[in-house]
Structure formats: C-alpha cells, structure tokens
Amino acid sequence: MMWYWGNGGVHWWGWLLMAIGMVAFWGLIIWGIWYFVTSLGRVPHHEHPPAGPRRILDERLARGEIDAEEYGRLLDLMSDEAKAESGRNPVGTRTKP
C-alpha cells in the first residue's frame, strides 16, 4: 500500500511544515489555558466607577499640577454649576427678565 503517492516518502519541507504546525497547535493550546486561568482573577474595567470631578481635582492637587488657590477656585466653580443644575441661581448671577 502506498501512503505518500510516490516512492520517496515525505520530503524535508513536509516534515518542516508538520513540525511548525505541531508547535503552533500546542502553543495555542497552552496559551488558551494560560489566558483562561489568568482571566479568572481579572476585574473587568467597567466595574470601576468613573472618576468624578472632585476626585480629579484632588488628584491634580496631590500631583502638584494645581496649587491650593486654583483648587479652591475650581471647587467653587463646581459647586456653582451643581447649584445651577439643581434649579437655584449661583451667588453673583442674575436671571434674565
């Protein structure tokens, strides 16, 4: 019975392709197992709450990007915007007649 359609058997490039294919196959299997095992301990990104404006200001102050005076001004600005959104007029502003 002839297995290789000829008398010479598989050529060297056939053995090379089989070896590369086997390494790629087992590499994918090992990578898949590793990925599954390490993903069990990961926390999805969407579970972390987004940083609010107050937290961003606190972090900028801690890093030294802004000084205390700028921090206070921006904090006041945030509170004025919050009051405006709640329906009350911020201090020092007038409504149009």
DSSP-derived secondary structure letter, 65: S
Mean pLDDT of the chain: 80
Residue 70 near residue 60, CB atoms below 8 Å: no
Look up the pTM and report it. Answer: 0.39
DSSP-derived secondary structure letter, 6: S
Residue 62 near residue 76, CB atoms below 8 Å: no
The tokens describing 91, both together, are 């201090």
What was the pLDDT predicted at 15? Answer: 87
Residue with tokens 């301990």: 41
What was the pLDDT predicted at 83? Answer: 72
75-83 contact pairs (CB < 8 A, 24+): 78/53, 78/54
